[in-house]
Amino acid sequence: MSISNLNFKNDLESIFKQYFKDLETLSPDLRFHTQIKDESDINKLCLLYYNLTNRIVEPRKRNVHKTSNFYCPSRFRNALRILEEKIENGEDINPYLSKGIRWVVDPHLRGVRHRDVLLDSWGIKHIHLGTRIERDGFVERTGPILFVKFDDKNACFLLFKRHGGKGRRRHDPWNDQFLIDILHENWSDSISNYEAKVDATKATDDEIKQWKKGNINVPATSKDGTLYFPPGGGVATSGDNIQSVRICYHIFEVIDADEEWLRENITEFIEILKRNSKDIKQPLDFQLISFEFIGKNLKLEVLEKNSKIYIVFEEGKQPQFFYEKD
């Protein structure tokens, strides 16, 4: 039995591009697909996609937590209350984030992914607490911003601090190790996997800033001397988030393994078709339809187009066969 098509990496291009389209439903002002529609390099598409999904906040219900001495300036208290309600109700809060989430690639550096260095390094997002939605779909920008660490179930509010900017060194929060100290003091479990059991001289905030410019990961230090490798995963020498690099490598590795399974077990596949009275038409034509992570395990759905049989590959389980798409 011959095979005319079995190349899941080629199929990934259209899947990723559809996933970029799906993300546009978060807001009518987002144009993710337009920025990548001509990109054919699947490695780049994968890294761009996971870089983007890391920067946005998936709408889902989360519990809000604050430090014991959390302080909100009086002029932002109403906006903070509204934000908390949206988070707890699982509503979209992406309009509160940096306007940089509009960009898959940096508009000033053609073809280069847009980055959030604070997020890549320390896993912390910053939020503006305006109350008015501007014409571009984002809330009005505020001077002081709220620093938050999200996971699937929680939103931990760290503190308010001035946004900072070029030439204003005294208001530069982006490399302030005090943020790591807050996580260490209040939610150490959230970063415990990144604790660095090494002897190292504490880097200054300015030194960390300079190392980041060269895509070099430097441990941050809490006040009691505990060192942490970047809780946001850090960056590879390419500037891509290391966690995104690992995810893409994992996807390609699993895809290669599942392709190999089909090649080595094609006889078994034919026997399954015969037992279920399915017509066998040569050559076989396989297409990857979708993929998703179930926890840390990757799940693939594959269609053999001639027989209309669906094969589900999930790590740690035997392949499953279906004759109708559930």
Domain for residue 155, yes or no?
yes
| Same structural domain, 231 and 269 | no
Q: Is the peptide bond before 73 cis (omega within 30 degrees of 0)?
A: no
- State the Cα–Cα distance between residues 167 and 56, nearest whole angstrom: 28
Domain for residue 256, yes or no?
no
| Same structural domain, 131 and 232 | yes
| Same structural domain, 122 and 187 | yes
Across the range 161-175, mean pLDDT stands at: 67
| Same structural domain, 159 and 277 | no
Reported in sequence order, the residue ranges of the chain that DSSP labels E, i.e. its strands, are 3-5, 63-66, 125-127, 144-150, 154-162, 220-221, 227-228, 284-294, 297-304, 309-314, 320-322
288, 297 contact by CB (below 8 A): no
Domain for residue 252, yes or no?
no
- Residue 154 clears pLDDT 60, i.e. is over it: yes
Domain for residue 6, yes or no?
no
pLDDT given at position 168: 47
pLDDT given at position 30: 84
Mean pLDDT, all residues of the chain: 90
Percent of the chain with pLDDT over 90: 71
Q: Is 104 exposed, middle or buried (0-12, 13-18, 19+ CB in 10 A)?
A: buried
Count of domains forming the chain: 2
Domain for residue 259, yes or no?
no
Domain for residue 30, yes or no?
yes
| Same structural domain, 223 and 110 | yes
| Same structural domain, 295 and 179 | no
pLDDT given at position 106: 79
The model's pTM is: 0.90
Determine the structural domain holding residue 102 and report its residue range: 12-240
- State the Cα–Cα distance between residues 258 and 291, nearest whole angstrom: 12
Domain for residue 249, yes or no?
no
Domain for residue 148, yes or no?
yes
| Same structural domain, 67 and 199 | yes
Q: Render pLDDT for 61-115 as a digit per residue (tens, 0 to 9).
A: 999 999 989 999 999 999 999 999 999 999 999 999 999 999 998 777 665 678 8
| Same structural domain, 303 and 221 | no
pLDDT given at position 326: 43
Q: Render pLDDT for 242-254 as a digit per residue (tens, 0 to 9).
A: 999 999 999 999 9
| Same structural domain, 125 and 170 | yes
| Same structural domain, 271 and 216 | no
| Same structural domain, 275 and 228 | no
Q: Poorest-confidence range of 10-24, 175-189, 266-280, 306-320? A: 266-280
| Same structural domain, 63 and 207 | yes
pLDDT given at position 271: 83
